Structure formats: structure tokens, C-alpha cells
Structure 1
């Protein structure tokens, strides 16, 4: 789901933020930082841009269908009211 190159970039940024006097981070520390970041990203339940855009399109189509159905329902309700009103007047 998450591009490993992006993850490596994030790890590098985190390690670069550590003060120079701390010294070079050992490989084990780098691996732990990478694992923690990976875990945090996984827990965020992120989606890819492509998945997001697909869902955006689905939502737009659903909204359009809903608008159409609401308009049809309003027209049906008006027609029903008109029929009911004219039926009551003739009785």
C-alpha cells in the first residue's frame, strides 16, 4: 500500500532531525524507526490517491442519482397532491 521509497524518505527525515552530537544512528535503531513509522502508517488505514479518486467518482455518480430520484419523488408528490385535491373537490 505504501511505497517503500517514501517510507525510506520519511525515515531519513526523522534520522536527519536527530542532533549531530548523538552521532550516527546504528542500523538497529534505523530499523526500529522504520518499523515504528510503518506501524503508524498502517494503523492510519491510508488509501492510495487512485483509490480515493475512484471513491470520489462513485460518490459523485451516487449524488447525481440521488438528486434525480429526489426530483422524481417531488414531482410524484406534487402530482399525487394535485390528484387528491381535485378528487376532494368533486366529492
Structure 2
């Protein structure tokens, strides 16, 4: 989820950029802006940076493991090919 402090900061920036006459409505306008931002941003399927970084690391480890497994399968296939036995190809296993 999006950090509430960031939404508050964004709402404050929007509020400060408004013309002075509108800004004089004060907290009500800022509060309404904050609520609108929160509602619109929550409709988006966003993740925070920390969660994104964690998932990136998980993906990298998974790719590394996949590469190792592909090498092992290839080595097993070549050994099986040298011994004359039938080989099951990875494309056949799905």
C-alpha cells in the first residue's frame, strides 16, 4: 500500500499550489484532496518500493536456480545420450 505520509505530502503540495482564494477554505479542501488521492491511488494495484525490491530478489534467485537446473538437465541428457539409452527431452515434460 502507499505510504500515508506520501499522500499527505502530495495533498499538501496540491493544496499549496491552488489559488489563494480556494486555499482559504483551509483544512476541508486539503482533507478532501487527501481523501480523493487515497481513493484514486487505492484503485491502482500498486506495491511499495520495499515489496517490489523483495520480489525482485526472489525473481533473481529463482532465475539462478532455474539456470542451474537447466545445466544439470543438459548434463544428464548428454550422459544419457553417450550411454545409448533413450532420453526424455525437457520439452516432452509438460
Q: TM-score per shorter chain, which class?
A: 0.7 to 0.9
**Greater Rg by CA:** 1
User: Does the Cα contact within 8 Å between 2:11 and 2:33 map onto a contact in 1?
Assistant: yes
Match of 1:89 in 2: none
CA distance in 2, matches of 1:8, 1:19: 19
Q: After TM superposition, where is structure 1 displaced by more than 6 Å over at least 4 residues in a row?
A: none
Structure number with higher relative contact order (C-alpha < 8 Å, ≥ 6 residues apart):
1
Alpha-carbon RMSD across the aligned residues, in angstroms, is 2.1
How many equivalent pairs are there?
85
Q: Is 2:46 the partner of 1:46?
A: yes
How far does residue 71 in structure 1 lie from its aligned partner after superposition?
A: 0.4
TM-score, with structure 1 as normaliser: 0.74
